Amino acid sequence: MPPGTWPAPRIFPYAGLTIRGAGAGQTIIPRSSPGALASGGFFHVTKANVTISDLTLRGWPVASGLSDDIGIYADNATGLRVLRVNIENMQGVGLFTESTTSSTAMSGGLFEDITIQNIVYRSNGYHGVGLWAYHGSNHNTYRRITVDGVNYAGIMIDAGTTVGTAASVDNNVFSDIVIRHAARKALPGGAGTGYGFLFTGGSGNSVTRYEITDQSMGTALAFGFDQSGIGSNANVLATGTVLRITSGDVVSFGGTRGNSLNGGTGSGNVSGLSGNTITNWPGLVP
């Protein structure tokens, strides 16, 4: 696609399609109409080996009325490539992946050099997540991801129950992750205050070189269980920086086991450490 602004309602790529812009600062695709609750994504990818690169996706303007949207919704999109893409101003979720058919249907993806900005709650008052790896999204790679400004969670790993039996989100690789200004606004009724990086039903994932900063409420890094009781165990995180977390709550393990944090900068509170390990991070206080 050439430079310019190219409004669109929804886009459904076919298998093997490449959608390539002239650069994230040059090719901009804004949502031309508000999304409807549970209607899927602005870019709705359900086919294999799709590539989306070098462009900016922009949500329906909040000032123009309520919307429910996901910037890129990847459902059973094996081999998806999202490269050098900005996702901004979505009312709901920036990037969402899930598998609804098998443990390999949303695998082999590469998500690289992505910036996700200003993700607010949907019009039903929920979500507000930057990057959400959901229900059976396994063996994908996320490199150089920046999430800046979300109402709830910067990055969320979630086994999920809305598509039938929950399926753990396992063995994904994250590196060079930056999460700023997460948990900007409490959920309706004050239920929960948000997270920087939330594991809720995912095991065997690795995170290398990550930063979580400037969070006004909630916990920076949390491990827990999905609604069906699937835990988040044996995840390995290395070389973290966690700064300016207003609550002082840096890590919560929530009854999970076998998670390992090795190396970090920043100080704050740790809860539920039993069965997990933290090494080379002197500023954390169990």
Residues in the chain: 286
Lookup: tokens for 130: 């930057």
- Torsion, CA 270, CA 271, CA 275, CA 281, rounded to 10: 0
Q: How far apart are CA 11 and CA 115, in angstroms?
A: 20
Residues 6+ apart with CB under 8 A from 93: 69, 70, 71, 73, 119, 127, 128, 129, 130, 132
- Torsion, CA 136, CA 20, CA 34, CA 181, rounded to 10: 70
Whether 176 and 144 have beta carbons less than 8 Å apart is answered as yes
Amino acid identity for residue 87 in this structure: I
Dihedrals phi, psi of 141, to nearest 5 degrees: -120, 130
Mean pLDDT of 180-191: 83
- Global confidence as pTM: 0.95
Alpha helices in 78-196 (DSSP H): none
Residues 6+ apart with CB under 8 A from 114: 82, 83, 84, 85, 86, 87, 95, 131, 144, 145, 146
Alpha helices in 25-82 (DSSP H): none
Q: Where are the domains of the chain?
A: 4-285
User: How do residues 24-33 score in pLDDT, each as one tens digit?
Assistant: 999 999 999 8
User: How do residues 208-256 score in pLDDT, each as one tens digit?
Assistant: 999 999 999 999 999 999 888 899 999 999 999 999 999 999 999 999 9
User: How do residues 118-169 score in pLDDT, each as one tens digit?
Assistant: 999 887 778 899 999 999 999 999 999 999 999 999 999 999 875 567 899 9
